[in-house]
Structure 1
Amino acid sequence: MEAVLEQVEQLPALLAVSRSALVRDWDALTLDRALEWGRYFQHLHDRFRTRPRLREALGRRLRRGQPSPLLGFPHLGRCPQLLGLALLENRALPPAACRRLIRGLLQPAGAEAGPEPRSLALLARRKAASRLLALPSGPPRTPEGMAPQLRTEAQLLLSRLREEVQEAEPAGEAAGRLRWLSGVLEELPQPRAFEVVAAALLLLLRPGSDAEQAGDRGRDGKSLDRNQASATGDEGVAGLLLSWLLGNLERFSAFCLFLPGSLLVSLAGHYSQLSRPYLDLLTGWGSRLLYDPLQGRWVKSCLDKAELSWEELRERFTCLCQGSALLRGQTQAALKLLKARDGDFTVCGLSVWTDLQMEVEEYLRKEAKR
């Protein structure tokens, strides 16, 4: 077993070499040997995936020599694809070795181990999809109104995260999965990453209707078990996305600035982990507004800072008060407490929280009369 562990420890180096200029010296024999190692690592994954102790040992050894532990046990099962894609994108690979690589990838799926096709066509489709999904779309509003490209990219991310949650070792893998997710999302421009995460969280709100689950429950117990397993997996996926958002205050602030208030209220209404941090963020922004007596209005203390204006802050609090009963209660209680801490004034212009509470309540009264 120690020999197997030592071999697995070499996977990061193999992938690093396949992306480097060293491949310019590769001949057909060297290429075949590298591809054979990829298939061997895939075989190890298939052999040990149902044995938790050995999975954990392999994953731990795989991460040993990495400066940033982005690779884990699940990557062994995708080693042929990872290696093939790295070599296809490496222009240093000699033409003869490249032709050999393409011929190897074009082998029929039945000629290779594993249930999934490992062909060049699959890699090409994934590459083409990544190019297509780079097109701009704008923030998602609802699952139904989501742009097709954004929906597809969010679905791909969810599919990949579900694999990570299902296959990852139980011991200490949460941090590894979070590092992997951070690495993926950091490759996207920040506004695009926020769009994808918001879209993924929206899609998780409707993995299957209650009617569908009730129908499955009536058909057989196995369907019920599958639904329960799926729900548990989606909880883990949502937890990863929320951990990525809330793990960095600057990132979460940018996320909340970028997305419209109505969408944030929808997310906060379904994901309770978001409601309090979002309310705290709005409180911090509001506390930095200053009253300008010449203009008769609240203004930003630093115009160059990316924070909300008075009008935007009022709109965000109004949206929260129009959300679920829980959100509305939290928001109104917070405004009342902030107003009291600020002196409990009833005159405009002395406390931002007095003015905000008065305007929000006036707006809600008007809406109630309609």
Structure 2
Amino acid sequence: MEAVLGQVEQLPALLAVSRSALVRDWDSLTLDRALEWARYFQHLHDRFRARPQLREALGRRLRRSQPYPPLGFPALGRCPQLLGLALLENRALPPAACRRLLRSLLRPPGTGSGPQPRGLELLARRKAAACLLALPRRPPPQPAGPEVRLQPEVRAEAELLLSRLREERQEGGETAGQRRWLGRVLEQLPQPRSFEVVAAALALLKRGPGTERAGDADRDRDTDRAGSSPDGYPASAAGDGCTAGPLLSWLLGDQERFSAFCLCLPCSHLAFLAGHYSQLSRSYLDLLTCWGSRLHYDPLQGRWVKSCPEEAEASWEELKERFSCLCQGSPLLKEQTQAALKLLRTRDGDFNVCGLSVWTDLLMEIGY
């Protein structure tokens, strides 16, 4: 086992060399040897993924080498893809070696004449699909109900993110490491795209039976016979809760980030998420309370206005719409929202006169 650990410790070095100018001297034999090592590391991943102690030992050995970005046990399973992408992005790789690399990656050894899409072939298809989805088109109509219809490209990115999170959970990845990985991935997306992808992922975890795509229905029937979800993992509410945990931790772990998240999303979408995630609903109500407390009544205009017009916070009209959406949500969410507003009104003196308490006026505006 010590020999295997020593071999695994060489993975960061292999990836580092594949990104360096040293590959300009690689011939076909050297390239084949590097790809064989990558497939060997993938074999180790498949062999030890169901053995927690050995899996943890391999992960510790990888982390001890302190590469950047840091690697963990799941990287062994993706080693051919990591090595292939590094080499394809390296302009120092000779043309002959590059052609041989493409043939090796698109037709791995032993796949026969009709392989299933794997490796870079699958990545290339996903990239092509993402480019097609990004073409200009008419935006889809929004449903009238509380359910959220997602843009195709945002939904595709959210499904890939959920698939990776489920894979990390299956591999027994550490919670702290998972959060760091998730943070790095989401920080690579521009805002508000990262917020849209997180919101879409959380919505997909709680989607109702009527929101599946037409193509999903047939796939779901096939996978249900095996007792798995469409992503190939065991379907369970507990599993989805574990998948949502890192997303919520990233979102709620920074007040400015959560505030920006709430400002960029439609209030109907936020109400849908608040109705399914108690952590998010509590934080959302606290944020709305903070925004409302910063409004003051202008007797000349006869309405509530921001203390500072330049502040990136909700106006009176936006605040009213957000509370109205929450009151149109699930019975529990409606009850929580009304209780919060009534408590705030009581703290302000429990007056039923307009202009004295923003909470009194909100309750009167939304009809309670």
2:201 counterpart residue number = 200
Q: CA deviation at 1:159?
A: 2.0
* Residue 285 (structure 2) pairs with residue 279 (structure 1): yes
The 2-side partners of 1:64 and 1:208 are apart by 45
Q: CA, structure 1 residues 120+266, in 2 after alignment: closer, same or farther (shift >3 Å)?
A: closer
The 2-side partners of 1:102 and 1:244 are apart by 37
1:214 counterpart residue number = none
* Residue 162 (structure 2) pairs with residue 158 (structure 1): yes
Per-residue Cα deviation, 1:292-348 (whole angstroms, up to 9, x for no partner): 232222112222221101100011111111211211111111111212222333332
Q: CA deviation at 1:289?
A: 1.4
Structure 2 portions without partners, runs of 5+: 211-223
The match for 1:337 among 335, 343, 348 is 343
Q: CA deviation at 1:359?
A: 1.6
Q: CA, structure 1 residues 339+119, in 2 after alignment: closer, same or farther (shift >3 Å)?
A: closer
Write the mapping of 1:30-41 to structure 2, written as runs, cut at 5 A.
30-41=30-41
Moved more, 188-197 or 149-158: 149-158
Q: CA deviation at 1:64?
A: 2.2
2:43 counterpart residue number = 43
The answer (yes or no) to whether the contact 2:48–2:54 under 8 Å persists in 1 is yes
2:333 counterpart residue number = 327
The 2-side partners of 1:50 and 1:116 are apart by 24
Q: CA deviation at 1:256?
A: 0.9
Query: Quick one: percent identity of the two aligned structures?
Result: 74
2:235 counterpart residue number = 230
Instruction: Kindly indicate which of the two structures has a greater share of residues assigned to helix.
Output: 1
The 1-side partners of 2:119 and 2:249 are apart by 35
The answer (yes or no) to whether the contact 1:105–1:120 under 8 Å persists in 2 is yes
Q: CA deviation at 1:22?
A: 4.3
Q: CA, structure 1 residues 16+296, in 2 after alignment: closer, same or farther (shift >3 Å)?
A: farther
1:268 counterpart residue number = 274
Amino acid at match of 2:206: L
Q: CA, structure 1 residues 139+241, in 2 after alignment: closer, same or farther (shift >3 Å)?
A: farther
Normalization by structure 1: what TM-score? 0.83
Amino acid at match of 1:336: K
Amino acid at match of 1:206: R
* Residue 258 (structure 2) pairs with residue 252 (structure 1): yes
For these two proteins, the number of residue pairs brought into alignment is 346
* Residue 365 (structure 2) pairs with residue 359 (structure 1): yes
Write the mapping of 1:1-370 to structure 2, written as runs, cut at 5 A.
1-66=1-66, 70-108=70-108, 110-111=110-111, 117-118=117-118, 120-132=120-132, 145-169=149-173, 173-206=174-207, 226=228, 229-231=234-236, 232-361=238-367
SS at match of 2:297: strand
SS at match of 2:350: coil
SS at match of 1:92: coil
The answer (yes or no) to whether the contact 2:80–2:119 under 8 Å persists in 1 is no
Q: CA deviation at 1:89?
A: 2.2
Amino acid at match of 1:85: L
Amino acid at match of 1:35: L
Q: CA, structure 1 residues 244+39, in 2 after alignment: closer, same or farther (shift >3 Å)?
A: same
